Amino acid sequence: MGVAIVGAAVDTAGVARRARPIVGAAVGLGAVAIGLGGLTGGAGGGRAESNRPQTTGANVLMGAHLFVQFACSACHGMQGRGGVSPYVPRLKQIGKALTVAQLTSIIKHGLGESANPKRPYMPVWGPVISTSQVADLVAYIRAGLPPVRDATPVPVPRAQGAAVAGSALYVRYGCINCHGPNALGGVPNPQSPDKTIPPLSGQDFRKQFNTDAKITEVIRSGSVIGKAPIASMPHWGGIIPRRDLKALVAYLKTLK
Ligand code: HEC
Ligand code: HEC
């Protein structure tokens, strides 16, 4: 039933590298036990069983995939290691410090959101994520965010033009979860004035966002349209580098 946890991880820059041993991470984590063998085995002193696949609970494995799908990793770093922005905390230790109820509440309702954000805040995910998905994310965080095979962001082709890169980045940064495939919108946001998250395509969008600068600006600044449980546009300034912003804009301009 279990799926292997692998020692190789891909960081946000897409560079494959060896995960460092997570010393002690498997100790005292309650119901979910994660073998260290699959996480170690670096130069020299790998333990005998280090190549044997380790198993863990299905909810932790799903949580690892959701952590990438919802681009938690884009802000908090792969496996919650941090290092992306000084304003986004690493999550490695948090599983021990916060209760299930606290983590659930933070993921559903966000944290630090303000009407005029100058820096990234923890988005409100409630409307776009199921109770079961939140539970899996919480299980993953409480398990110490181990690397899990294939729970890695989609690769970004960099030599095939900005729009191609942008189409991958649209998935990699999780825009697709809120704005839908092909940026068609329609994802329910029941408490918001429009009741749905807006499309990034179509005539109305093009009319209002008729320059690259306007599109770039709203991605960088975000746009808070109300308190939780309303989902707002996250602030991506300091998270998404300039060339990725350009690529996202180039991609959006190819859409209907
Ligand atoms: C746009 C960037 C961004 C994304 C995407 C994001 N976060 Fe956060 N997150 C933050 C910031 C910023 C904070 C700190 C908020 C504060 O303390 O005011 C935070 C805080 C948290 C905390 C509390 C940590 C602590 O030390 O108190 C948890 C847990 C968390 N995020 C989990 C997640 C999960 C799970 C996801 C994916 C579903 C996610 N985050 C996606 C930016 C982000
Ligand atoms: C948590 C859900 C969420 C995520 C993730 C998200 N957005 Fe948004 N976005 C929104 C909401 C809600 C609005 C509407 C804000 C408003 O009306 O002021 C919005 C607005 C926008 C707008 C302005 C369109 C308009 O009509 O207001 C652009 C452009 C945009 N988002 C691009 C992106 C891109 C690019 C990404 C990925 C990097 C992204 N968004 C990720 C929720 C999200």
Q: Which residue has the higher pLDDT, 45 or 216?
A: 216
Percent above pLDDT 90 for the chain? 74
- Is the pLDDT score of 12 beyond 50? no
pLDDT tier at 1 (50, 70, 90 boundaries)?
A: very low
CA Rg, the chain, in Å? 19
Q: What is the mean pLDDT of the chain?
A: 84
pLDDT tier at 95 (50, 70, 90 boundaries)?
A: confident
- Is the pLDDT score of 232 beyond 90? yes
- Is the pLDDT score of 30 beyond 80? no
Q: Do residues 153 and 161 lie in contact, with contact meaning Cβ atoms separated by under 8 Å?
A: no
Cα(226) to ligand 1 centroid in Å equals 18
Q: To test ligand 1's pocket by mutation, which of 111, 137, 173 has the most ligand atoms within 8 angstroms of CB? A: 111
Q: Establish whether residue 245 lines the binding site of ligand 1, counting it when its CB lies within 6 angstroms of any ligand atom.
A: no
User: Which bound ligand lies closest to the C-alpha atom of 202?
Assistant: 2
Facing residues of 17 across strands?
9
pLDDT tier at 115 (50, 70, 90 boundaries)?
A: low
The DSSP annotation for 26-53 comes to TTT-TT----SGGG---TTT--GGGGSP
Q: Identify the weakest region by mean pLDDT among 20-29, 112-121, 132-141, 216-225.
A: 20-29
Domains and CATH numbers, the chain: 8-142 (1.10.760.10), 162-252 (1.10.760.10)
Identity of the amino acid at 249: V
Q: Establish whether residue 228 lines the binding site of ligand 2, counting it when its CB lies within 6 angstroms of any ligand atom.
A: no
pLDDT tier at 55 (50, 70, 90 boundaries)?
A: low
- Is the pLDDT score of 167 beyond 60? yes
Q: Do residues 64 and 141 lie in contact, with contact meaning Cβ atoms separated by under 8 Å?
A: no
Q: Which residue has the higher pLDDT, 232 or 2?
A: 232
For tokens 């109770």, name the residue.
Answer: 131
Q: Which two tokens stand for residue 172?
A: 């990699």
Q: What is the average pLDDT across 161-167? A: 98
Q: To test ligand 2's pocket by mutation, which of 68, 113, 128, 178 has the most ligand atoms within 8 angstroms of CB? A: 178
pLDDT at 118: 85
pTM of the model: 0.85
Q: Which residues contact 48 (CB under 8 A, 6 or more apart)?
A: none
Q: Establish whether residue 106 lines the binding site of ligand 1, counting it when its CB lies within 6 angstroms of any ligand atom.
A: yes
Residue nearest to atom 9 of ligand 2 (CA): 233
Q: Establish whether residue 200 lines the binding site of ligand 2, counting it when its CB lies within 6 angstroms of any ligand atom.
A: yes
The DSSP element (H or E) to which 129 belongs, if any, is none
Q: What is the average pLDDT across 115-127? A: 89
- Is the pLDDT score of 110 beyond 60? yes
pLDDT at 96: 80
Q: Establish whether residue 197 lines the binding site of ligand 2, counting it when its CB lies within 6 angstroms of any ligand atom.
A: yes
User: Which bound ligand lies closest to the C-alpha atom of 99?
Assistant: 1
Which ligand 1 atom minimizes the distance to the CA of 94? 26
Q: Establish whether residue 89 lines the binding site of ligand 1, counting it when its CB lies within 6 angstroms of any ligand atom.
A: yes
Q: Identify the weakest region by mean pLDDT among 49-53, 166-170, 213-217.
A: 49-53
Residue nearest to atom 6 of ligand 2 (CA): 175
Q: Identify the weakest region by mean pLDDT among 63-72, 89-98, 111-120, 142-151.
A: 111-120
Q: Which residues contact 251 (CB under 8 A, 6 or more apart)?
A: 162, 163, 164, 165, 166, 167, 169, 170
Of 13, 1, 3, 2, the C-alpha closest to 241 is 13
Q: What is the average pLDDT across 2-17? A: 40
Q: Which two tokens stand for residue 9?
A: 């991880």
